[in-house]
Structure 1
Amino acid sequence: MTTLMSTHSLQMSAGHLPLFDNLDLSIRSGDRIGLIGANGCGKSTLLALLAGQRQPHEGRIHKASPCRCEFVAQHLPVQLQALSTRAVLLDALANEADQAWQVDKMLTELQLTEQADLPVSALSGGQHTRLQIGRALLHQPNLLLLDEPSNHLDLPALLWLERFLLAWRGAFVLVSHDGRLLDRVTRETLI
């Protein structure tokens, strides 16, 4: 298996409290990793570091050239909240306007066609999660970093997420407190 990303002696603190110290981690193609821990222990911080959105205090992160990583945050960015569902997906393609046809295809795959012209503020939690995943998928990643996508989902949305992750052919790191979901879709667990 190809190593997509690795960390070497990664260190990060929150104030004077260490979140992790000398963390060595490898993510390979096809990995399905669950990341668990108490609230505030650094799970979201680790995903942000892996996504390149934050810098570690010490250590380094190596991203292999075949790695196409996308971070799926818990919430849509504030500046997108007033846009329509379609516009939020189009925003993800800002530098690829000639690929806008992909948005209609993605709306169908996400089961959001009927909500395409609604403002995202009118969407449910499950629809927000699908929209966040759709934004990431438009970039054709082979590694997804998913920060608690199962939060606040009703049963149909949770089942959609489970089916999506079971069918996903790339690697992922999934932060979740949903033990059933983790048991169903992941192969290894990091604590």
Structure 2
Amino acid sequence: AVTSAGSAELIAVSSLCTYDIYRTYINPEATGKQILKVSRAVVFGFGCFMGVLAVILNKAGVSLGWMYLAMGVFVGSAVMPIAFMLLWKKANSVGAILGTIIGCILGIITWLAVTKIEYGRVNLDTTGRNAPMLAGNLVSILVGGLVHALCSFLWPQNYDWDGTKKITMVEKDRTDLPAEEFNEDKLIRSKAWIIKWGVGFTVVIAILWPVLSLPA
């Protein structure tokens, strides 16, 4: 679990830095070899950073469970804006930024306030308990989505999805892929399947299951 999670984080950060920063703003004409070189450098650098941070957190007494739950308070506000940006053409970029920032701030305030109200003190132990973590996570996620949705309804950006077809591909040779993989009707069906089962599974796991567990 540690190896797979660490690998996923390294690849995610590497892809973000390589494609969204290096190739977009620094070297738009980067070759495959240059991109690979930058990607490896980011993996090495971020890997060292994660190792040092893990040692510091361990010495400070921060458990994996605490960090996992607190992470939702800090980054949960970006979940719904990211989903909207991928699936909703009216999604507003400024609204996504505002939703992420406002949701995070209010989530942290709620988290610490509930801790103080419920337990009378704010420390590593009390902030890691269920009630404060639940309140902070919910506020962060819901406020982030609400702010972004309101901004998008008031000032829709109406993104043209055809623009994604102009994105430069690192590997332009697609001869090994069947033509049906690029059929628009198939892509639309795949999108509908993902939304149907993705949303359905999320509702069952995140809402229905916990609600049914309350009587127990």
TM-score over 0.5 (shorter chain): no
- The structure whose residues are more often helix, as a share, is 2
Question: The TM-score by the shorter chain falls in which range?
Answer: under 0.3
Which protein, 1 or 2, shows the higher relative CO under an 8 Å CA cutoff with sep ≥ 6? 1
TM-score (norm 1): 0.24
* Larger CA Rg, structure 1 vs 2: 2
TM-score (norm 2): 0.22
- The structure whose residues are more often strand, as a share, is 1
